[in-house]
Amino acid sequence: FMEIHEIVIQKLGHVPIVKGDFHMLPKKVQKFLAKWVYTCKPRALYICDGSHAEAEEVTHKLIERGVLTKLKKYENCYLCRTDPADVARVESKTWIATDDKYETVPHVRQGVRGILGQWKHTKEMEEEVNSDLDGCMAGRTMYVIPFSMGPIGGPLSKIGVQLTDSNYVLLCMRIMTRVSADIWEVLGDNDFVRCVHSMGCPRPVQRKVVNHWPCNPDKIMIGHFPARREIVSFGSGYGGNSLLGKKCFALRIASVIARDEGWLAEHMLIMGLTNEKTGEEKFVCAAFPSACGKTNLAMIQPTIPGYKVRVVGDDIAWLRFDDKGVLRAINPENGFLGVLPGTNMKTNPNAMLSFQNISIFTNVAETADGGVFWEGMEDEIDKNIAITNWLGQPWKIGMPGNAAHPNSRFTCPASQCPIIHPKWEDPKGVPVSALIFGGRRPTGVPLVFESYSWQHGVMVGACVKSESTAAAEHTGKKIMHDPMAMRPFMGYNFGKYLQHWLDMEKPDRNMPKSFHVNWFRVDEHGKFLWPGFGDNVRVLDWVLRRCAGDESIAVKSPIGYLPKKGSIDLTGLGDIKWDELFSLPKHYWLDDMRESKLFLEDQVGTDFPQVIWETHAQEKRIEEQ
C-alpha cells in the first residue's frame, strides 16, 4: 500500500526534468503529470514558466529545425508551413465522452444522423485514448504549460495545464493564453482543466514528416471528458485541434462548466463603441460561425464619424450576470488567431497593425524580401517581387489556385492591437447591451433585424445558418445550420443548452436586446449588396440606437423588427439597394422557417424547449404577411 507520492515518483520513472522543479508543483498537477508521462513515455519533461527566455529558446529551436522561418521585414515574426494534410479543425474526429449519451447529444429523429456534436461512451473513448497515446511522445520532450483563460486569478477566469510534445503549440499557447509560473500559486489545491496534446508522431517516425511538421492526420482524435474536465488531442498540430485553451477548453469544456455554474461560454466577439458626442460607451457581443467576420467586426475601422471602437475579444466570450443583473463579458483569450485571406489595410487595418511584431503566420505565401502574402494583399506588395506560395512553390499573382491556404492564420498578442480596449483584461468583464447573431446568407436574409424578446432571440440564434467556409474540413459551398454559431463547439446536449439560455432570463436581470445581421446578401449577379467591413458600423449604430430605446427607427415584420427605410446612415455610400437588402421574400421565409423547424425537430427532438415554438408562431406571421 504505497503513498500517492511514491506512486507518482514511480510512474515518472527516470524521465529527466530538463527545466522546472517537479516537487514545487501542486500535488494534483504532479499526479496528472505522472499519469501522462507513464502513458506517453516522453524523453524529457520541460516545465514551462512563460518567461521571455523560454520564448527565445523555443523559437530558436523551431528555426533550427526548419519549422519557422524568420520574416526579415518584421520584428519577431515567423512563417510556418504545416504538413498540407493538417490545415484546419477536424470536426469529424472530435468527440465528447460521457457515460450517458443524451447528456452530450440530443435525441435525434430515428434514422437521422445527428450533427450537433459527436458522442462516445467514456469507456470507449478512454480505450482509444490509451491505445493512441501509449508511447506517443517517445523520443520527444513533453512540455508542461500552466495557463489561465481570462486574467490570472480573476473571478471569472479558469486555469488549465496543457501537456504537449509540440514546441510550435507551446509558442502559440504563450500568445493565445496567459502562460506563467504564477499559475501554480493561484491554483494551489484547486482543480484545473486537464489538457493533453500529442502530434502523434513518436520517434523513430513511422510516417514521412512533411515540412518538418510531424503529425498523424489519419489518426486525428480530439476527445473531451467534460465530467473530469479533461481534453485529449492526438494527431494534429493546427489551430483549434491543438491549442487546447481555445475551442476545446474555452467553448466545449467551459460550456459544461457554465451550465453547472449558471453562465454562458460562447463563440462571440466582444467590442466597445463609444459615442463621441455623449462619451457614453456600449458593449456588444456577436456570434458568427467560423470565418464569418468576427475578427473583422471586432476590429472595425468606422467609415462614419461618431464612434470610437475598441476590441475586447474576437472569438470567445464568457458571459455572466452580476449581482446587479448586468450581463458581463470577459475574453478568456490572450491573443488573436485570425483568418488572413481577405485581410488588408482597407478591410482590416487594425488586424494588419496587430501583427507587425511578435506574430506567427501559418500557411501563407512568402515574398522574396522576407514579407508575407495572401489573397487580398495584391495591392499592398511590390508588383515585381518573387512570391513563394504556402506549399513552397514559386507563385505569381493571377495563377490558378491559392497563394495562401484559405484557412491560413496569424497568431498575435491581443495587446498589440492598436484599438485594444483599455479594459480588455478587466477581471469583472464589461457590461453587454446587445447580442448579435449572424452568418453568410447569400439570399433572403436582410442586413439586420431585431428579435422581439430574449426568447425570440434564442430562437433566432438556434436558426443560424451559414455558407460553409475553410475553417473546418467541409468542402464546397453549401448552407449549413450552425445554431448559435456553436455547432462545432457544443460541450453538451444542444436542447439543454437552449434551455440554459432561456433560463438566463430572470425578472431582476437587465436582458440585452438581440439582433441578427447578414453582411453577405448578394444580388442576381452574385455581387454583395452591402459593402461590409468598416461600413458595418452603420448597422451597429442602428443597433445601439435601438438599445437606447429609439422607437421611431424600427418597423415590425414577421421575423422581427426591421430598420425603417432610411434609418440606417448611408451617407457617402453611393447606390445601396435598400429594398433588395431588406426584402423578405415570402416563399423564401416560409421554406426557411419550415426547414429550420424540421432541422430542430430532427436534430434536437424532445430536448428542444417547446416553449420557443409556442410563443413564436413565426410561420403564421409569415403566412399572413
Helical axes 254-261 vs 494-503, angle rounded to 10°: 40
The interface mask with ligand GTP, positions 203-232, x = CB under 6 A, is ------------------------------
- Smallest separation, CB 519 to ligand GTP (Å): 4
- Which of the listed partners (ligand GTP, ligand SPV, Mn ion, none) does 532 bind, with a CB threshold of 5 to 8 Å by partner kind? ligand GTP
Residue 442: CB atoms within 10 A of its CB come to 16
Contact 313, 346 (CB under 8 A): no
Specify the pairing of strand 77-80 against strand 335-339: unpaired
- Smallest separation, CB 609 to ligand GTP (Å): 27
Positive or negative CA dihedral for 354, 357, 359, 363?
Answer: positive
Specify the pairing of strand 230-234 against strand 221-225: antiparallel
- Rama region for 429: left / alpha / beta (φ>0; ψ in -120 to 50; rest): left
Measured between alpha carbons, how far is 32 from 192 in angstroms, rounded to an integer?
10
Say how many residues touch ligand GTP, by CB under 6 A: 22
- Which of the listed partners (ligand SPV, Mn ion, ligand GTP, none) does 247 bind, with a CB threshold of 5 to 8 Å by partner kind? ligand SPV
Instruction: Indicate which single residue of 290, 359, 367, 518 sits in contact with ligand GTP (rule: CB under 6 A).
Output: 290
Interface with ligand GTP includes 446 (CB under 6 A)?
Answer: no
Which residue type is seen at 524? E
Helical H segments across 214-365, by residue range: 239-242, 254-261, 294-298, 349-354
Residue 322: CB atoms within 10 A of its CB come to 15
- Which of the listed partners (ligand GTP, ligand SPV, Mn ion, none) does 341 bind, with a CB threshold of 5 to 8 Å by partner kind? ligand GTP
Which part of the chain contacts ligand GTP (CB under 6 A), choosing from 194-202, 320-328, 334-342, 600-608? 334-342
**Three cell numbers written together for 102:** 443524451
Q: Is 215 assigned a catalytic role?
A: no
- Rama region for 91: left / alpha / beta (φ>0; ψ in -120 to 50; rest): alpha
Which part of the chain contacts ligand GTP (CB under 6 A), choosing from 96-104, 212-220, 341-349, 580-588? 341-349
Interface with ligand GTP includes 519 (CB under 6 A)?
Answer: yes
Residues that bind ligand SPV (CB under 6 A): 89, 239-240, 246-247, 290, 315, 337, 471
Measured between alpha carbons, how far is 137 from 125 in angstroms, rounded to an integer?
19
Q: Of 40, 48, 195, 292, which is the active-site residue?
A: 292
Residue 383: CB atoms within 10 A of its CB come to 7
**Three cell numbers written together for 335:** 491573443
**Three cell numbers written together for 592:** 426557411
**Which residue number, 344 or 363, has a Cβ lying nearer to ligand SPV?**
363
Measured between alpha carbons, how far is 425 from 157 in angstroms, rounded to an integer?
11
Which part of the chain contacts Mn ion (CB under 5 A), choosing from 83-91, 287-295, 300-308, 559-567? 287-295
- Which of the listed partners (ligand GTP, ligand SPV, Mn ion, none) does 239 bind, with a CB threshold of 5 to 8 Å by partner kind? ligand SPV
Interface with ligand GTP includes 338 (CB under 6 A)?
Answer: yes
The interface mask with Mn ion, positions 413-432, x = CB under 5 A, is --------------------
- Which of the listed partners (ligand SPV, ligand GTP, Mn ion, none) does 106 bind, with a CB threshold of 5 to 8 Å by partner kind? none
Contact 280, 288 (CB under 8 A): no
Angle CA(625)–CA(591)–CA(476) in degrees, nearest 5? 140
Interface with ligand GTP includes 296 (CB under 6 A)?
Answer: yes
Interface with Mn ion includes 315 (CB under 5 A)?
Answer: yes
DSSP single-letter state for residue 596: H
Interface with Mn ion includes 86 (CB under 5 A)?
Answer: no
Instruction: Indicate which single residue of 170, 284, 292, 539 sits in contact with ligand GTP (rule: CB under 6 A).
Output: 292
**Which residue number, 394 or 526, has a Cβ lying nearer to ligand GTP?**
526
Q: What residues numbered 289-308 form the site for Mn ion, per CB under 5 A?
A: 290
Measured between alpha carbons, how far is 132 from 139 in angstroms, rounded to an integer?
16
Interface residues with ligand GTP (CB under 6 A)?
A: 288, 290-296, 314-315, 338-339, 341-342, 347, 471, 519-520, 528, 532-533, 536
> Which stretches of the chain bind Mn ion, using CB under 5 A?
290, 315
Active site positions, annotated: 292
